[in-house]
Amino acid sequence: MANRKAIIETSKGNITIELYEDKAPITAGNFIDLIERGFYDGLKFHRYEPNFVIQGGDPRGNGTGGFVDPNTGRERRIKLEVTPELKHGEAGGVAMARSQDPNSASCQFYITLGPAAFLDMNYAVFGRVTDGMDAVKQLRAGDSMTSVKIAENA
């Protein structure tokens, strides 16, 4: 089965991301679940580092929040899922942010704005921007994700 695509609508334009369900099923599956719950709709990008990353997906908007599962009341954390095949490479890599604990990724993600090989095997890459890098490059802290959806004909 082909990998699905996510579409992030922002005020700077739409961003299409191929999700590596085949190589990072846990991480891509977590992202897809959050999209299907409508979790990301209206959230902001809270971190912008020129030539490095734009980061978003924090419900608190300050880099400290995670997804609290309404069924358990606990923050969801997923196991670090890395493979030498999935690298940060050039701009457009999509990966999960986390704290010092390698198994602490929840809902925050980042998109690389340049090469970031030093992150390889330490942060879970689960997708790549396939369209809309012009929009990604215009994003700044405070910009919102109007809506995030899974593409219909992925």
Residue-level pLDDT at 4:
97
CB distance 118 to 18 below 8 Å: no
The answer, yes or no, to whether residue 115 has pLDDT greater than 60, is yes
What pLDDT sits at residue 119? 97
pLDDT tens profile 64-111: 999 999 999 999 999 999 999 999 999 999 999 999 999 999 999 999
- What's the average model confidence in pLDDT over 132-148? 98
* Cα 111 to Cα 88: distance, rounded to the nearest angstrom: 9
What's the structural domain count of the chain? 1
Rounded distance between C-alpha atoms, residue 48 and residue 25, angstroms: 27
The domain that contains 77 carries what CATH number? 2.40.100.10
Which residues are CB-neighbours of 123 under 8 A, at least 6 positions away?
80, 82, 88, 95, 96, 97, 98
Domain of residue 137 covers: 5-150
Q: What is the pLDDT of residues 38-66, one digit of tens each?
A: 999 999 999 999 999 999 999 999 999 99
Task: Summarize the confidence of residues 25-47 as an average pLDDT.
Answer: 98
Mean per-residue pLDDT over the chain, rounded: 96
Residue 15 main-chain phi, psi, to 5 deg:
-125, 125
- pLDDT for position 1: 75
Which pLDDT score is estimated for 152?
82
* 123 C-beta neighbours (distance < 10 Å), count: 23
Assess whether pLDDT exceeds 80 at residue 153.
Answer: no
Q: Is the pLDDT of residue 154 over 50?
A: no
